[in-house]
Amino acid sequence: RFRVNLALNRSIPNKGLPSPLGGAFSVPGQAARRRFLTLEEVLDASGAPVRLLLNGMRFEDTPVTERPKLGDSEVWALINLSADTHPIHLHLVQFKVQSRQKLDVAGYQQALDEARSAAGGPVDANGELVNPDPTPYLLGSSPVRETEEGPKDTVRANPAEVTFIKVSFDIAGKYVYHCHILEHEDNDMMR
């Protein structure tokens, strides 16, 4: 509830809103890198989720796998292999939602399992993620809503879809990204 205690100041002109508000939002520069990041659920024997992971890793797992350079722009492909929509939030930045593509989850999961088996886990000997490029498993586009065209710090990553965002890292420091559902971030869907 809002309670207004002061009288309206009539000396301030009552102007209409400009049309259109703002303008086109873009992230500057060519993408220095494309990252393929997976959103995963670990299920128990009955099929109930018991853990939620980014890239098959828990929050405290090492190494840090996303290390953008100061001033670089990157395209992140958020590959949702789970049955849930995850509102993915990146700290300290604003990004542009570029597109969404439907995903052959079973095909991608098989390629992911093979890559991780060959590497001995979600990262290789150099500390790089082994998540495959999802391009061969894309089935068609999903719309980006008009409400998602401006600067964002959180995006819906829908199940069985890849959400592509372009982000510029213009502040030095450690960035955190996570699912904004409290139970998910508390169950390790944070890096």
- Report the SS3 class of residue 149: coil
Burial class (CB in 10 A: 0-12, 13-18, 19+), 120: exposed
Tell me the sheet residues that pair with 61: none
Give the global pTM. Answer: 0.87
What distance lies between CA 104 and its chain's CA centroid? 19
The angle formed by the CA atoms of residues 96, 60 and 119, to the nearest 5 degrees, is: 85
User: Which residues, 6 or more positions from 153, have their beta carbon under 8 angstroms from its beta carbon?
Assistant: 89, 90, 91, 93, 94, 95
How confident is the prediction along the chain (191 residues), in pLDDT tens digits per residue? 888 888 888 888 888 877 766 667 888 889 999 999 999 999 899 988 889 999 999 999 999 999 999 999 999 999 999 999 999 999 999 999 999 999 999 999 999 999 999 999 999 999 999 999 999 999 999 999 988 988 999 999 999 999 999 999 999 998 899 999 988 888 889 99
Give the per-residue pLDDT at 25.
Answer: 81
